[in-house]
Amino acid sequence: MKSFWQGKKVFITGPATFLGSWLCLTLQELGAQVSGFNESAVTTAKSPNLFELANIGAKGNFTWGSFQDVESVKAALHYSEAEILIHCQDLESKSPLSSFISSVASTGALLEALRETATVRAAVVLSSDKVYARHQGVITEDMPVAAGGVSSTAKLVSELMALSYKQNFFSPSKFNKHKVALATARLGSAIGGGDFSEGSLLFQACEHFAQGRPFTLKKPHSMRSWIHVLDQVNGVLLLAEGLIDKGPKLDDTYNIVSSETAAVSDVASKLASLWGAGVSIVSDPSNHSNLSHHPVLDASRMLEALAWKPHWGLEQSLSKAVRWYQAHYAGQTLVTELCQRDIQSFLENLK
């Protein structure tokens, strides 16, 4: 990976999101030149924030503004001279209407900028694993999509916009003319250090553990798939690399997900065991019978086309995350060093 990414110019939207921050950190570790555009009114208000804690902005050229200012987005992308574009979105903690407006504005501005840039050769638009219609069994990329939660539906709108632009302006049949390869990737929630969102099970549990407070599980029997954020990063980067190497030969859409599932209660128990003595977990009795099953997605298309699969299993992912939060709350290690330690360990595991 390092030989490919060394010196590559990469433009990331939403660099201050959890995934966006880890993408930036990994790319910087690989020697890429990273720049990006982030919505001023969204992530800057969140504290703590991995982008700021790891001082990511000091090693790149990042613009903060509004995606509704299309000319600013175009100027930032043009100035970056990026060869690869990765579109993340931060739609958390927004009203339904603002989520849809943000999704359409950010994706639309980026796609319009893509039409005018002379440097971008590969574009990856990130979507959600929750865009599929209800289905019993394993879900592949060719199965029907449908409206669902606000955030996932807003990302589906973004994905459909990207595929529409691909069909109309970046058609594989005319690749020799426009020379832009575009694909979308469907991802679920990831685990790892540096996630400070309200919906993060790991962050909430580790924060309670660090403060010596009991942690209450709201949906203990909920079954979910679990993947480390660096496995997601690896998948996204392999997809971008594949678009550069194979151009229009890749499919439109890829699932970048893990098939490893476990109940929230089992994961919480493992977290407590990894943290050590003096922590406690309780279940909310009002939600005790609330069974929730997240869809199981098939990622064999990524394996067959790009040889991608998760490298860190659930236990190793949880262990890495707990070590990250323990060191962070102890205040003895810089966040940048904590992230670099995990990235270097992950890259070594790929060899």
Assigned domain for 285 exists: no
Residue with tokens 């060191």: 327
101 vs 92, higher pLDDT:
101
> Helix %, strand %, coil % for the chain, to 5?
50, 15, 35
- Is residue 322 situated within a structural domain? no
The pLDDT of 217-228, averaged and rounded, is 90
Q: Is the pLDDT of residue 295 over 80?
A: no
Number of other CB atoms surrounding residue 148 within 10 Å: 15
Map tokens 């190793």 to a residue: 316
pLDDT of residue 88: 94
Q: Is residue 13 part of a domain?
A: yes
Q: Is residue 288 scored above 70 in pLDDT?
A: no
- Residue 119 belongs to what domain range? 2-195+226-258+294-312+335-350
- 142 in a structural domain: yes
Cα gap 78→117, rounded to integer Å = 6
Phi/psi for 14 (5° steps) reads 70, 40
Identify how many contiguous H helices and E strands the chain contains and give both numbers. Answer: 13, 13
Cα–Cα dist 199/193, whole Å: 14
Predicted local confidence at residue 95, as pLDDT:
84
pLDDT at 33: 97
For residue 344, tell me if it sits in a domain.
yes
Q: Provide the number of structural domains found in the chain.
A: 1
Give tens-digit pLDDT for 168-201. Answer: 999 999 999 999 999 999 999 899 999 998 889 9
DSSP letters spanning 192-235:
-TT---TT-HHHHHHHHHHHT--EEESSTT-EEE--BHHHHHHH
Using CA atoms, how far apart are residues 159 and 170, in angstroms rounded to an integer?
A: 14
Full DSSP string of 259-321: --EEEHHHHHHHHHHHH-TT--EEE-GGGTT---BPPEEP-HHHHHHH-----S-HHHHHHHH
Kindly report, residue by residue over 105-115, the tens digit of the pLDDT. 999 999 999 99
Q: Evaluate whether residue 327 is within a structural domain.
A: no
Q: Please report the sign of the dihedral spanned by the C-alpha atoms of residue 168, residue 300, residue 318, residue 292.
A: positive
Q: Which of 14-18, 56-60, 91-95, 238-242 has the lowest mean pLDDT?
A: 91-95
Q: Comparing 221 with 346, which gets the higher pLDDT? A: 346
Q: In which element (H, E) is residue 70 found?
A: helix 70-80
* Residue 286: per-residue pLDDT: 67
Percent of the chain scored above 90 by pLDDT? 80
State the chain's mean pLDDT as an integer.
92
* pLDDT value of position 289: 52
Please give the residue that has the higher pLDDT: either 332 or 141: 141
- Please count the other Cβ atoms lying within 10 Å of the Cβ belonging to residue 134: 9
pLDDT, tens only, 248-269: 999 999 999 998 999 999 999 9
CB atoms within 10 A of CB 232: 26
* 293: pLDDT strictly greater than 80: no
Average pLDDT over residues 228-253: 97
Answer whether residue 284 shows pLDDT above 80. no
Amino acid letter, 309:
K
Q: What is the pLDDT of residues 30-87, one digit of tens each?
A: 999 999 999 886 544 466 889 999 999 999 999 999 999 999 999 999 999 999 999 9
Residue 129 in this model has a pLDDT that exceeds 70:
yes
Average pLDDT over residues 276-301: 76
The pLDDT of residue 91 is above 90: no
pLDDT at residue 287 is higher than 70: no
* Cis peptide bond upstream of 48, omega within 30: yes
Decide if 120 is inside a domain. Answer: yes
pLDDT-above-70 percentage for the chain: 94
Domain containing 177 — which CATH number?
Answer: 3.40.50.720
Those residues with Cβ within 8 angstroms of residue 77's Cβ, 6 or more apart along the chain or in another chain? 11, 37, 85, 110, 113, 114, 117, 120
